[in-house]
Structure 1
Amino acid sequence: MANVLNNGNFDSEISNGVVVIDFFATWCGPCKMLAPVFDELSNEMNGTAKFFKVDIDESADLARKYFVSSVPTIMIFKDGKAVETMVGFIPKENLEAKIKAHL
């Protein structure tokens, strides 16, 4: 399962390599559908990309900083820079292909 980041540790965790962030909310139905897909990819791609989650209600500053207005929003960072943003539920194969494109 992916660790949850907050304002205190976000920047240090995304600074190196390919990092996939799931901006979510506990009350969001599509977020709950995406969670097992995200966790599976996190386990399968361990060592090639890092996976984290950000609760937009707990870390509203991060959500504003990255213009997250709908959840789930998946962002891919490469060496600290956002390189891809996807909104809504994403099938596992599609998400995996997007991540691999940035490795």
Structure 2
Amino acid sequence: MERLNSERFREVIQSDKLVVVDFYADWCMPCRYISPILEKLSKEYNGEVEFYKLNVDENQDVAFEYGIASIPTVLFFRNGKVVGGFIGAMPESAVRAEIEKALGA
């Protein structure tokens, strides 16, 4: 999964595909739990859904703009708008269900 900076983040969320952004920090243990799940799903959705990571410590402007107060926060974007997401580490089945719900929106 590509790691984003603030500028690249603003570009990728404009996609008309579903874009999944994992807001994380290197020191965050729940973030380390969910990262391999998102990696796996990025391979399964192979281009149908785009997956990215954004380090909140390195991109505090974006974290502030989207009100990220807890990590991991995973937000789903389409055409620059938030269309779903979740906060906290969840099992793969729950993450997949959230993605499927956003795909249907």
Structure 2 unaligned blocks of 5 or more:
none
Q: Which residue number in structure 2 is paired with residue 78 of structure 1?
A: 78
Q: Which residue number in structure 2 is paired with residue 47 of structure 1?
A: 47
Does the alignment pair 1:91 with 2:97?
Answer: no
Q: Which residue number in structure 1 is paired with residue 68 of structure 2?
A: 68
Q: d(CA) in 2 for partners of 1:74 and 1:87?
A: 6
Root-mean-square deviation (Å): 0.9
Deviations 1:4-60 (A, max 9, x none): 111111111110110000000000010011111010011111121000000000101
Q: d(CA) in 1 for partners of 2:64 and 2:43?
A: 29
Q: Which residue number in structure 1 is paired with residue 5 of structure 2?
A: 6
Displacement of 1:85 in angstroms is: 2.7
Normalised by the length of structure 2, the TM-score is 0.92
Normalised by the length of structure 1, the TM-score is 0.94
Q: Which residue number in structure 1 is paired with residue 18 of structure 2?
A: 18
| Partner secondary structure for residue 58 of structure 2 | coil
Letter in 2 for 1:47: G
Displacement of 1:102 in angstroms is: 2.2
| Partner secondary structure for residue 101 of structure 1 | helix
Letter in 2 for 1:50: E
Query: Structure 1: which 4+ aligned runs deviate by more than 4 Å?
Result: none
Q: Per residue, is there more helix in 1 or in 2?
A: 2
Displacement of 1:97 in angstroms is: 1.4
